[in-house]
Each structure stands twice: as structure tokens, then as C-alpha cells.
Amino acid sequence: MLACTIVPGMLVAFLETRPFVRVVVEVIGSGLELHMMAVTSLALVVSVNEGMYGFDAIRVGSDLMVGKRVCGWVLSGLFVLFSGLVRGTMEMSMAMAMTMDGSDFKRVESTVVINLLWDNMVWIFLYALMVQWSFVVTTVFYFDLKKRDSIKSDRDSEISLV
């Protein structure tokens, strides 16, 4: 997952004079990162429910997603969009609180930090709620995929008996 973040960033920095190639690299890197997020979040549920760990859980999660990868990508993409919205909102409020004085930031006092946390409490709560909701949605997605996989294996065994 780290390679999906660092390698495209290095390529973009290296190819800064070629805007079309930079966009293609960013799109491919983001797509690969989104796919890895979907598979690893499903692998987390697999490891909890089936007692598999590491690459075994990732393999099972990836195998379960066959035929439903787009749905997993959409779910992961929605979680990424919401967390990006929260991060952007909090960064914007922090930038507004820390005004520039010449070229240096003013000294940040503890009251400013407390006020920033208090002002962003709703966003912090919504982010925590979104993380919990992502676990629930991924678990429901896992059980739907598991049910679909068991129906498919039952049909395959009936066909092989005939």
C-alpha cells in the first residue's frame, strides 16, 4: 500500500514538465491504492470472522470480491471522499486560526488549540462515526459476498454431480 502512494508521487515529481503523463500516473496510482484499500478492509473482516491472517486473509478477501470489485471500490471511494472532506475542513479552519505574520506563524497558544478542537468537534465526531460505519458496511459486504460465494459453490457442486 505504501508503494501505491510513494511510487506515483516520485514519478509525478520526476515528470513535472509532462502534465498529461502526470495525470495518468496519478489516476493509475489512485486506482491501485483504492483497490488495495478495498481488499485490505475486506481482509480485516476475513481475519476476524475466519481466523485467517496476513496474505491468506488478503487472498480470501480478493477472491471473494471477484465479480463485485466495482462495489468494493465505490464503498472505499466514498469513505476516502468523506475523510478527505473532514481533513480539508479541519485544515481550512486551522489555516484561518493561524494567521501569517510576515513569513512566520504566530505563536500558537494552548487556548487556540483548544478552540480549534472545540470548533471542529462535530467533524471529529462525524469522522469517528464514519470509521465505525465503514466497519459495519464492510462486514455487511463481506457476508453478502460470502452468501453469494456459498450459493455459487452449491450450484457448481450440483452441476458436477449431474
Q: What is the DSSP string of 6-55?
A: HHHHHHHHHTTT-HHHHHHHHHHHHHHHHHHHHHHHHHHHHHHHH---TH
Q: Is 135 helix (H, G, I), strand (E, B) or coil?
A: helix
**Percent with pLDDT over 90 in the chain:** 1
Q: Which is more confident, 68 or 105?
A: 68
* Structure-model confidence comparison of residues 129 and 105, the more confident one: 129
Q: How many domains does the chain have?
A: 1
**Contact of 41 with 35, CB cutoff 8 Å:** no
pLDDT of res. 102: 44
Q: Tell me the residue range of the domain where 152 lies.
A: 2-161
pLDDT at 161: 55
Instruction: Give the number of other CB atoms < 10 A from CB of residue 78.
Output: 13
Rg (CA), the chain: 22
Q: Tell me what the mean pLDDT of segment 75-85 comes to.
A: 86
pLDDT at 162: 53
pLDDT at 149 over 60: yes
Helices 121-161 and 19-50, axial angle in degrees (round to 10): 70
The answer to which of 26-40, 88-102, 125-139 has the lowest mean pLDDT is: 88-102
- Residue 78's pLDDT is what? 87
